[in-house]
């Protein structure tokens, strides 16, 4: 690597010098291994020797840009964040506003911005800062398209497009496109009912707590010595403005301490939060549990992490209903005559899948000087299975056709099979009837993944003495679905 030392002159580093990215990462890891973040062992610029006039001018110019970015962050309600806060530890709302601040600082114009639910995870009191930021993007000469469920943001829009009327196969139509007030006249629109009509709040049933779980002296991110009492046997909602520490307390500190009490190691998120600059330093939770701790025998954390990281994982495989479907196909007379077992109907097993795409349903096409693209498999045409496997049918449908069914369609198709119909009905009950059984996990939103996990948990026969922890379960839901 060449390093500039004067105008037109360069110096080569000695062999073995730590100049590559891997060496930089190792250096960061070694410094972080001491138990402190990287910045904690770096020189303090305020304690350096006096700068020369040239360096002072350069520092002033740099400081101006830094201050401008900090003002954007403060304007979006992120002034409480420390600069060394690891990005993976930020909530969804914080991360969304952080990205928005980056765009506001870019001073671009003539740009089309497309935002997917920017208000997700925001407390109502924080929404005004988001609205003002979107207005500034628009006023700078840009166009802003927003996919949103927030009713207040819809009312502020200059143009509204309503798609529906329902989800999945019963949706996909533009019901209205125009100024917001015009949506009032669209009878089919469920959005119009919530946007213009007064919808009464759902009632709640009072329940007596069966015990109390106490969190004492909790230290995590911006929580310092926090004490909290949580009733058991009831539904508890923890609320507060964005960044107040809700997720740190309930989605991080509480599960970690409960898992330690149950004798399990908390999930290690460090590997998932690694960046190009090395692993993020995720601080451990300080504090302890008290109260009726023994009343909790099991922890179920339903978060918005993907249910799978590859297209091979899908709705049917994650919920377990595909195992029952494969057994039904294996029990048909045709399958018995061919000596096919349940494994034959798995697209992950060589004997039944299409060998051209190895059960993926698509193949990668290499293009010169361009990124690879994916195309349907030329042999199975996306069916995933070989021709012999597809000849076996159950009630007139082969296994590939079943995977293409929506939850609503499959619920009717398997109405007489309780092992399959029960999980399908649970998925319908939580508003996922529009999803296809074979829909890849990589195509699911965080809200959909969370509801799939919840439906999977509700199938269990034994659910007593369990603590369920959900982080913003209504994220991504239309008002009528919530």
Rounded to the nearest 10 degrees, how much is the dihedral formed by the CA atoms of 105, 91, 121, 149?
70
pLDDT 10s digits, 386-426 = 999 999 999 999 999 999 999 999 999 999 999 999 999 99
Q: Please state which CATH number belongs to domain 315-470.
A: 1.20.1580.10
For the domain with range 70-196, which CATH number is right: 3.30.70.100, 3.30.60.50, 3.40.50.150, 3.40.50.300? 3.40.50.300
pTM score = 0.72
| Class of residue 165 by CB neighbours under 10 A (exposed 0-12, middle 13-18, buried 19+) | middle
Q: Which residues pair with 468 in a beta bridge?
A: 300
- Write the Ramachandran bin of 178: left for phi over 0, alpha for psi from -120 to 50, otherwise beta: left
The answer to whether residue 68 scores a pLDDT higher than 60 is yes
Question: Are the CB atoms for 93 and 130 separated by under 8 Å?
Answer: no
- Look up residue 195 and give its two tokens: 């946007």
The answer to whether residue 379 scores a pLDDT higher than 60 is yes
pLDDT value, residue 280? 44
- Write the Ramachandran bin of 464: left for phi over 0, alpha for psi from -120 to 50, otherwise beta: beta
pLDDT 10s digits, 133-177 = 899 999 999 999 999 999 999 999 999 999 988 877 778 899 999
- Write the Ramachandran bin of 59: left for phi over 0, alpha for psi from -120 to 50, otherwise beta: alpha
Q: Does 70-196 match 211-296 in CATH topology? A: yes
d(CA 239, CA 322): 38
d(CA 328, CA 417): 9
Return the number of other C-beta atoms located less than 10 Å from residue 370's C-beta. Answer: 7
pLDDT value, residue 93? 66
| Class of residue 184 by CB neighbours under 10 A (exposed 0-12, middle 13-18, buried 19+) | middle
d(CA 442, CA 305): 11
d(CA 176, CA 159): 10
Look at residues 443, 446, 450 and name the one whose alpha carbon lies nearest to residue 310: 443
- For the chain, the structural domain boundaries read 1-33, 70-196, 211-296, 315-470
- Look up residue 69 and give its two tokens: 């970015």
d(CA 58, CA 53): 9
- Look up residue 42 and give its two tokens: 């770096």
Domain 211-296 matching CATH 3.40.50.2300: the answer reads no
pLDDT value, residue 281? 46
Phi, psi values for residue 193, rounded to 5° = -60, -45
Position 46 confidence tier, pLDDT thresholds 50, 70, 90: low
d(CA 382, CA 376): 5
Mean pLDDT of the chain: 83
Please compute the mean of the pLDDT values over residues 259-280 and round it to a whole number.
58
pLDDT 10s digits, 286-307 = 899 999 999 999 999 888 788 8
pLDDT 10s digits, 324-358 = 999 999 999 999 999 999 999 999 988 899 999 99
Half-sphere exposure of 199 (CA within 13 A, CB side): 13
Which residues touch 108 (CB under 8 Å, ≥6 apart)?
140, 142
- Look up residue 15 and give its two tokens: 């062999």
d(CA 315, CA 194): 30
CA 411 to chain centre: 27
Q: What percent of the chain has pLDDT over 90?
A: 44
pLDDT value, residue 228? 94
């Amino acid at each position: 690597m060449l390093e500039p030392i004067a105008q037109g002159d360069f110096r080569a580093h000695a062999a073995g010098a730590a100049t590559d990215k891997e060496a930089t990462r190792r250096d960061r890891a070694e410094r972080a291994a001491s138990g402190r973040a990287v910045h904690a062992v770096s020189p303090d610029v305020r304690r350096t020797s006096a700068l020369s006039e040239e360096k002072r001018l350069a520092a002033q110019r740099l400081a101006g840009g830094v201050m401008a970015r900090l003002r954007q962050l403060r304007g979006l309600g992120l002034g409480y964040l420390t600069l060394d806060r690891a990005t993976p530890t930020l909530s969804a709302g914080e991360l969304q506003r952080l990205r928005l601040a980056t765009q506001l600082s870019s001073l671009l114009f003539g740009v089309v911005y497309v935002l997917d639910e920017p208000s997700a995870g925001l407390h109502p009191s924080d929404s005004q800062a988001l609205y003002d930021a979107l207005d500034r993007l628009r006023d700078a000469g840009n166009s802003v398209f927003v996919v949103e469920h927030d009713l207040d943001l819809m009312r502020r829009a200059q143009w509204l497009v309503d798609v529906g009327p329902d989800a999945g196969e019963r949706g996909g139509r533009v019901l209205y496109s125009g100024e917001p007030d015009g949506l009032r006249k669209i009878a089919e629109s469920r959005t119009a009912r919530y946007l213009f009509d007064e919808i009464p709040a759902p009632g709640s049933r009072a329940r007596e707590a069966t015990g109390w779980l106490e969190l004492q002296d909790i230290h995590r991110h911006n929580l310092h010595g926090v004490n909290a009492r949580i009733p058991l046997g009831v539904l508890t909602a923890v609320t507060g403005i964005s960044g107040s520490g809700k997720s740190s307390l309930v989605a991080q500190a509480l599960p970690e301490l409960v898992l330690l009490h149950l004798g399990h190691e908390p999930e290690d998120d460090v590997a998932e939060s690694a960046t190009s600059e090395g692993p993020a330093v995720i601080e451990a939770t300080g504090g302890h549990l008290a109260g009726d701790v023994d009343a909790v025998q099991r922890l179920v954390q339903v978060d918005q992490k993907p249910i799978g990281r590859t297209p091979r994982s899908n709705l049917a495989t994650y919920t377990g209903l595909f195992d029952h479907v494969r057994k039904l196909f294996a029990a048909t007379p045709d399958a018995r005559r061919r000596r096919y077992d349940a494994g034959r109907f798995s697209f992950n097993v060589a004997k039944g899948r299409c060998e051209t795409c190895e059960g993926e349903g698509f193949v990668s096409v290499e293009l010169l000087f361009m990124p690879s693209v994916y195309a349907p498999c030329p042999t199975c045409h996306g069916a995933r299975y070989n021709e012999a496997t597809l000849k076996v049918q159950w009630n007139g449908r082969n296994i590939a056709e079943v995977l293409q069914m929506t939850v609503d369609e499959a619920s009717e198709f398997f109405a007489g099979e309780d092992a399959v119909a029960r999980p399908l009905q649970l998925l319908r009950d939580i508003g996922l009837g529009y999803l296809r059984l074979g829909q890849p996990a990589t195509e699911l939103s965080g809200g959909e993944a969370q509801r799939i996990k919840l439906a999977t948990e509700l199938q269990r026969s034994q659910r007593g003495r369990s603590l369920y922890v959900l982080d913003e379960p209504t994220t991504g839901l239309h008002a009528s679905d919530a």
